[in-house]
A and B are shown apart, each in its own frame.
Chain A
C-alpha cells in the first residue's frame, strides 16, 4: 500500500538537477513521477520509481545525499471539486499533509495524487475506515 519515495538533496546550481537524472537514464531506470521542492538555498528532488532500490543504490554510490520516505497514492475524481472533496475528507480525519503532488497520469476518469503524511500508518488506518483505499504500488506502476 505504501510507496517508497526517494528524496535527493540538490544544490541551487546550474546542472544540479540534470546529474541524477542522467545517472538514472544511463542505468535504464525510468522515473514514474517527481516533484521538486526548492528554497532560496537548496532543493529537494522527490522521485517515485518502480526500481527504487536499484536507483537508491546507484545514487548512493554516485555520492548523492539520498534517503527514503513512505508516501501514499490516492485516487481523486478527475472533475472540478474532486481534489477539494478528498482534502476536506482528510481534514475531517485530522490527517496532516506534509506535501502532495500529482502522479503523471490518471486512469478511468481519476487522477492520482501522491500524499506525504506525517504518520503514514495512522493515515492508512483512518482512510480505510472511511472506505478510502490508497492505490497499491503494483497497480500504480503496472498500468
Chain B
C-alpha cells in the first residue's frame, strides 16, 4: 500500500489506519456479521433481546441494518453483573478490569489473549498517532489496577518499543522528580492531573519548558481547548486527546493525530453510530448526538450498539494526515448525569446510596465540582436537620465523618463534605439540582 502522507513512524500495525474507505466498510460488515452471530450464540441476554424484536443475525445484510438491532446500555451490564455478558468461558479469559457503575456495583470488562493483543495494537496505533516511537521514555501516570487506563497505556507503550515508567497515579513530587531525572519524553495521565503537575513543578522552581517532555496523551475525562492551550503554553509538549471506555476495551478507541482536529476512531475494531439520545434514531454524519459503539473483533465481551452517553459528532471530511478513519469531535458532554472526576466515573446515585447508608434517611444534598490549580475537587453539601443534628460538636463531627467516609468508600476518592443549613440547597420544581459543575468557570484553565 502506498501513501505519501504516511508519517515517518509508519509501520505495519498502522497500515489499517490508511485503508481505502470501501475496503474498510467491507471489513466492518464482515466483522459485524461475525460478531453479531457469535454474540447471539453465546450470550443469552443478547439473544433474548434480539428474539424479542424478532431479529435474527442473518438480517444484518448491510452496515445500515445495524440500526435494527437492540442497544446495549449500562443497566444491561448491571443486570448481568458480574459475568453475564461474557461470550468466552473463564478458561479463555486472561484479564478482568472494572470501573464504577451506577449503583455501587462495578462494570466488569473481560479480555482473552486475543483481546489484549487488539487492545495493545490500538494503543500502539494511538501512540504512533501522537508521534511516539522506540526511544521515547513514556511516564505512565494513569492508575494501574482495575482501571483500564494504566495497563492499557502500559501495553501500548511497550508495544511501540518505548521505555515505560509505570509510575501510576498520584505522588506529585515524585512524578516531577522522575520526569526530570529520567528525562521522560512523554506522559500519560488525566489532563486535570497534568495541569496540577505543572502548578506543582512551578512551585518547586522547575521550568517544564526546559524538560525533554514533548508529548502528552491525555484522556479518561472530558477536557477543553482552553486546557490544551494552557498545557501547551506552560510546557514544550503537544497535548493529544485519547478516548476510550472500559465497556468497549479501555483507552485506545479513538486518538487525535498531529492535526488535533477530532479523534480518529479505530473503526476497524469499533464501529461508530451517532444517535438521537431521546429517540434512538441514527443521525447522519456531522450531526451531534450520542456515540454508540459496536465492537467488531473483541472475543470475551463483545458489545453490540453500546450507548456510551458521550455527546459528539462523526466527521467524515478527509483529514490531512491521510488516515481514512472517521473522527469524533472532542467529547463535550454526556447525555446522562454521570460526571468524571480525576478519571473516575461518578453517578449522583452512588453518592445518594452512600448518604442513605449512614442514617437510613436521605438528606438533601448537592455535589459541587470545582477545579483548583488544575486539580478537580468534589464537594458534597448535605443539609442538616433536627434528626441529624446534635448539641454536641463531637457528635456532629462524627456524623460528618461517617458521611464522607461512606462516600469515599463507595467512590474510592476523597470528597470534602460540608454540612449546610436546611433549605439552602436550591430546589427547582421540588427537585434539587444534584450536580453543580464549576470546573469550566476557572478563567485560565
Question: Contacts of A52 on B, CB cut-off 8 Å?
Answer: none
A75: min CB distance to chain B, Å: 23
Question: Contacts of B331 on A, CB cut-off 8 Å?
Answer: none
Interface 0/1 of A12-30, CB less than 8 Å to B: 0000100000000000000
Judging by beta carbons under 8 Å apart, are B393 and A44 in contact?
yes
State the total of A-B contacts with C-beta under 8 angstroms.
54
Pick from A64-72, A81-89, A128-136 the stretch touching chain B.
Answer: A64-72
Given A9-B384, A41-B400, A60-B386, the answer on whether A65 and B393 have CB atoms closer than 8 Å is no
A140: min CB distance to chain B, Å: 18
Judging by beta carbons under 8 Å apart, are B389 and A67 in contact?
yes
Interface status of A142 (Cβ within 8 A of chain B)? no
Given A41-B418, A42-B396, the answer on whether A7 and B389 have CB atoms closer than 8 Å is yes
Judging by beta carbons under 8 Å apart, are A9 and B423 in contact?
no
CA distance A64 to B391 in the complex (A): 14
Question: Contacts of A42 on B, CB cut-off 8 Å?
Answer: 396, 419
- CB-contacts of B380-401 with A (<8 A): 383-386, 388-393, 396-397, 400
Interface status of B94 (Cβ within 8 A of chain A)? no
Judging by beta carbons under 8 Å apart, are B390 and A63 in contact?
no
Q: How many residues of A contact B (CB 8 A)?
A: 22
CA distance A8 to B304 in the complex (A): 55
Q: How many residues of B contact A (CB 8 A)?
A: 20
Contacting residue for B421 out of A7, A16, A41, CB 8 A: A16
Judging by beta carbons under 8 Å apart, are A67 and B418 in contact?
no
Question: Contacts of A65 on B, CB cut-off 8 Å?
Answer: 383-386, 388-389, 421-422
CA distance A69 to B423 in the complex (A): 23
Closest to A66 in B: B386
Interface status of A138 (Cβ within 8 A of chain B)? no
Contacting residue for B391 out of A7, A10, A16, A63, CB 8 A: A7
Interface status of A39 (Cβ within 8 A of chain B)? yes
Interface status of A50 (Cβ within 8 A of chain B)? no
Judging by beta carbons under 8 Å apart, are B392 and A63 in contact?
no
Would you give 27 A-B contacts (Cβ < 8 Å), ordered by A? A5-B391, A9-B384, A9-B419, A9-B421, A10-B421, A11-B419, A11-B420, A11-B421, A11-B424, A16-B421, A37-B393, A39-B397, A41-B400, A41-B419, A42-B419, A44-B391, A44-B392, A63-B422, A63-B423, A64-B422, A65-B383, A67-B386, A67-B390, A67-B391, A69-B390, A69-B391, A98-B392
Nearest 3 pairs of A and B residues by beta carbon:
A7-B391, A69-B391, A63-B423
